Homo-oligomer: A and B are copies of this chain.
Amino acid sequence: MNIRLYNARILTMEKNRDVFRGEIWIKNDKIVCIPEIEELKQDWNKRDVPRISWDIELDCKDNLLMPGFKDAHTHSGMTFLRSFADDLPLQEWLQHRIFPMESKLGGDDIYYLTKLAILEYLTSGITGIFDMYLKPDQTAEACLDTGMRCVLVSGLNNFTSSPQQMEEEYLKWNQKNSLISYQLGFHAEYTCSKELLYKVAELAHKYRAPVYTHLAETAKEVEECKARSGMTPLVYLDSLGIFEFGGGGFHCVHMTEQDMNTMRMRRMYAITNPASNMKLASGIAPIAQFEKRKIPVAVGTDGPASNNCLDMFREMFLVSGLSKLKENDAASLDAMRVLRMATVHGAKAMRLHRADVLAKGKYADIIMIDLHQPNMQPVHNIPKNLVYSGSKSNVLMTMIGGKILYRNGEFNIGDDPENIYRKCGQIVKRMMTG
């Protein structure tokens, strides 16, 4: 498929490049050219331009094209728990609501529950997810069937999965499939024995691979780890050799100076989940402090049981707003830096090096943002409009790997949304009565 997106404003998210007017040319799943309007006015015959016969030519009507958002921490399959266990503190929420319900998951439940999440990602312009959940195979199948780009990460713990299973999944899902990849990981320090963590470290060394985990989400978690080990979770995990090849921490709310030094040294990513941390009263992550220490920050929604929605516009506003509150400084974390976190840093944290910016040779993971809506007017400053007044209602189109999966409110994912709603409703009903 050859697609031409024309009459557009373009924000490639390449460093120091402003919004410009031009076109994006796509061949199969990749971008082949992003000509600026000035170039197009010149005589293209004399230049080395790909001769393409277009399958689709789409007039963008002066709206914005930009890289899709990367949701760098989520649990897609948890859609069944949305609005089921709100207004509870994290440990109670986890032990008394989430775990008992999860034990009832069976059959192809996670496949359909993930599809429900995928519908929502697409409405919010999310083109890549970093997904940790039970039964990664079902998550992968849902992503393959719909066209969602997904990096799986193991949620290994004392009760679920095993180092062997993680290794098998790692090898299976890192085969050459452009949509799915897999990273080593585990649920959290407090759900894994030392023996298990040593095995994770072994795998990290064997494959020279980064490792990802929930990290310092609550003060309680940090205190308990210190009581057990004399160390903060990050320092303890690092002492076992887990982060020798980098990786990242999800949440990173309660961090010490030593933690941040370790992250910097290990070139780890801090993956922040501000809505979830607010809703569970976990705290505000020190994003401005990470930035000051050059620790790259990516952004995730966390799962729909704790957030409760999968909306990167909400997260972006919160990353900036909560940082301003925490630092008591309205100048903290301006819009462009937050946009970079939600796109470029997210892709890098997930090792999606071909999905970070819009450029020749990169994946065509592109969204179109409607500037002709009242919340995007007047057009003083597009990045600020996106972060401070943007909304998923501005997402006109979501394209992943050159396929238009969502446009003007309609989905093109090989399944009917009403069918997915019905299936998920049935799953919930069965669980409630079972």
| CB-CB under 8 A for A380 and B428, given A119-B374, A324-B279, A374-B123 | yes
Report the Cα distance A390→B83, complex, angstroms.
11
- In the complex, A332 has a CB within 8 A of chain B: yes
Within 8 A of B (CB), among A346-394: 372-375, 377-381, 384-385, 388-393
Report the Cα distance A377→B89, complex, angstroms.
23
Q: Which residues of B contact A119 (CB under 8 A)?
A: 374
B284 touches A79 (CB 8 A): no
How many copies of this protein are present in the complex? 2
- In the complex, A270 has a CB within 8 A of chain B: no
Report the Cα distance A283→B326, complex, angstroms.
9
B89 touches A329 (CB 8 A): yes
A123 touches B93 (CB 8 A): no
Instruction: Mark each residue of chain A from 295 to 321: 1 if its CB lies under 8 Å from any CB of chain B, else 0.
Output: 000000000100111110010010011
B311 touches A375 (CB 8 A): yes
Report the Cα distance A307→B390, complex, angstroms.
11
Q: Contacting A322 at CB < 8 Å: which of B278, B304, B327?
A: B278
- In the complex, A325 has a CB within 8 A of chain B: yes
Report the Cα distance A425→B62, complex, angstroms.
15
Q: Which residues of B contact A207 (CB under 8 A)?
A: none
- In the complex, A84 has a CB within 8 A of chain B: yes
| CB-CB under 8 A for A335 and B86, given A309-B389, A311-B375 | yes
- In the complex, A52 has a CB within 8 A of chain B: no
Task: From A39-47, A67-75, A416-424, give the one contacting chain B.
Answer: A416-424
B321 touches A374 (CB 8 A): no
Q: Which residues of B contact A308 (CB under 8 A)?
A: 384-385, 388-389
B375 touches A123 (CB 8 A): yes
Report the Cα distance A320→B328, complex, angstroms.
21
Report the Cα distance A381→B85, complex, angstroms.
10
Report the Cα distance A308→B376, complex, angstroms.
10
Write the nearest CB–CB distance from A425 to chain B, whole angstroms.
5
| CB-CB under 8 A for A374 and B334, given A275-B321, A325-B283 | no
Chain B residue with the shortest CB-CB distance to A304: B389
Write the nearest CB–CB distance from A324 to chain B, whole angstroms.
4
Report the Cα distance A123→B425, complex, angstroms.
28
Report the Cα distance A42→B116, complex, angstroms.
38
B377 touches A331 (CB 8 A): no
Chain B residue with the shortest CB-CB distance to A276: B321
A87 touches B304 (CB 8 A): no
Q: Contacting A284 at CB < 8 Å: which of B120, B325, B375, B380?
A: B325
| CB-CB under 8 A for A377 and B330, given A123-B393, A278-B321, A307-B388 | no
Q: Which residues of B contact A317 (CB under 8 A)?
A: 275, 314
Write the nearest CB–CB distance from A385 to chain B, whole angstroms.
5
Across the A-B interface, the 10 shortest Cβ-Cβ residue pairs:
A309-B389, A278-B321, A83-B384, A119-B374, A120-B374, A393-B393, A308-B388, A281-B330, A308-B389, A281-B324
Could you list 17 A-B pairs, sorted by A, with CB under 8 Å? A83-B384, A83-B388, A84-B380, A86-B384, A87-B330, A87-B332, A87-B334, A116-B374, A117-B374, A275-B317, A280-B330, A281-B324, A284-B325, A314-B314, A374-B420, A391-B391, A391-B392
- 10 more contacts with CB within 8 A, not counting A278-B322, A283-B325, are A86-B384, A89-B330, A120-B374, A123-B393, A279-B321, A281-B328, A309-B389, A311-B389, A374-B421, A391-B393
